[in-house]
């Protein structure tokens, strides 16, 4: 267990909104609990920032965040977490707004289809269509995602490389799930970590039904990482997914990819929501914003 007061207060609030055995509940109930939890940590948007909802291919809902001062033409593409089962444009609304405002860049959030109604590859397909839409328009793109969204972001970088699409300026992966074995390392050490258990990860994988060993679905299984975009990867110490990020950073570095890696010693899974009440989360979130800004450029 972490000992930082702010993160323990955050965990207590989360426990009051989202039961430890939530994955045993019907999907509709899980989503209701998750939406209520996210709303509890909602924040006012930065002054002068505007938002606009739009459809890509007349079916993929997106939300565009435009800060008052835009300093770069590079777009930030945000893919939300939630185990591929919960989450929406609303769940990460303030997070997206704050990243966009810090970086001085337009950010586009994707409301991709969710499991179990839609199995893999519906999620990556939706996100890839939005990515292509941005790249075809001639814009550089920074991929950003947390948890399941970190999986989608890393997978998009690999998928774009497979199809020889250029223009990805960087990838920001926040406590990503990347296809670890569920039995060793942090999956064993943090099996019953607060906020996310290894059994929860197994449940989300079973809901998604992605093919094992596919590098887009499980980036840790890729045969080569050479020439992938530079990456910023941050993990939480008290998280079964911790070693996914550790191992991925090492694989990228060995392939010659520029990597920034952080491990937050007092944080747990989903700490983004604690950024306004935990010193550790506040510092970690600033590092995420700085990485997005660095990749986006002036």
How many residues does the structure list for the chain? 298
For residue 147, indicate whether it is catalytic. Answer: yes
What is d(CA 57, CA 126) in angstroms, rounded to the nearest whole number? 10
Catalytic site residue from 146, 200, 239, 243: 239
258: tokens are: 């520029």
Q: Of 65, 69, 73, 64, whose CA–CA distance to 139 is shortest?
A: 73
Is 181 exposed, middle or buried, given 0-12, 13-18 or 19+ CB atoms closer than 10 A? Answer: exposed
Catalytic site residue from 88, 147, 207, 278: 147
Q: Of 63, 64, 13, 22, whose CA–CA distance to 41 is shortest?
A: 13
The partner residues of 52 in beta bridges, in order of sequence, read 64
For residue 88, indicate whether it is catalytic. Answer: no
For residue 269, indicate whether it is catalytic. Answer: yes
202 and 230 Cβ atoms separated by less than 8 Å: no
Q: Of 168, 142, 201, 194, whose CA–CA distance to 18 is shortest?
A: 194
Catalytic site residue from 80, 92, 93, 269: 269
Peptide linkage before 116 cis (omega within 30 of 0): yes
Look-up of token digits 């939480």: 236
Q: Which residues contact 74 (CB under 8 A, 6 or more apart)?
A: 105, 139, 140, 141, 142, 169, 295, 296, 297
What is d(CA 228, CA 118) in angstroms, rounded to the nearest whole number? 28
Peptide linkage before 127 cis (omega within 30 of 0): no
What is d(CA 54, CA 230) in angstroms, rounded to the nearest whole number? 29
265 and 237 Cβ atoms separated by less than 8 Å: yes
Catalytic residues: 147, 239, 269
């Amino acid at each position: 267990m972490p000992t930082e007061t702010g993160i323990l207060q955050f965990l207590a609030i989360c426990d009051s909104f989202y039961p430890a055995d939530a994955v045993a509940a019907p999907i509709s109930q899980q989503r209701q609990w998750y939406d209520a939890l996210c709303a509890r940590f909602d924040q006012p948007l930065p002054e002068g920032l505007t938002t606009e909802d739009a459809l890509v291919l007349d079916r993929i809902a997106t939300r565009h965040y435009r800060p008052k001062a835009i300093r770069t033409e590079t777009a930030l593409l945000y893919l939300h977490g939630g185990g591929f089962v919960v989450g929406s444009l609303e769940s990460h609304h303030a997070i997206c707004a704050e990243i966009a405002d810090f970086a001085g860049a337009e950010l586009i959030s994707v409301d991709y289809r969710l499991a179990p109604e839609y199995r893999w590859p519906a999620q990556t397909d939706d996100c890839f269509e939005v990515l292509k839409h941005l790249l075809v328009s001639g814009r550089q793109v920074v991929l950003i995602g947390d948890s399941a969204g970190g999986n989608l972001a890393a997978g998009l970088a690999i998928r774009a490389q497979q199809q020889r699409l250029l223009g990805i300026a960087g990838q920001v992966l926040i406590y990503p799930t990347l296809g670890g074995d569920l039995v060793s390392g942090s999956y064993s050490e943090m099996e019953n970590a607060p906020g996310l258990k290894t059994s929860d990860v197994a449940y989300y994988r079973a809901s998604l039904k992605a093919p094992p060993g596919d590098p887009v679905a499980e980036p840790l299984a890729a045969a080569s990482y050479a020439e992938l975009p530079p990456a910023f990867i941050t993990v939480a110490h008290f998280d079964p997914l911790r070693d996914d990020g550790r191992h991925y950073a090492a694989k990228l570095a060995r392939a010659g990819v520029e990597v920034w890696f952080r491990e937050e010693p007092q944080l747990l899974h989903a700490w983004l929501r604690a950024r306004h009440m935990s010193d550790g989360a506040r510092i970690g979130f600033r590092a995420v914003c700085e990485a997005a800004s660095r990749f986006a450029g002036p």
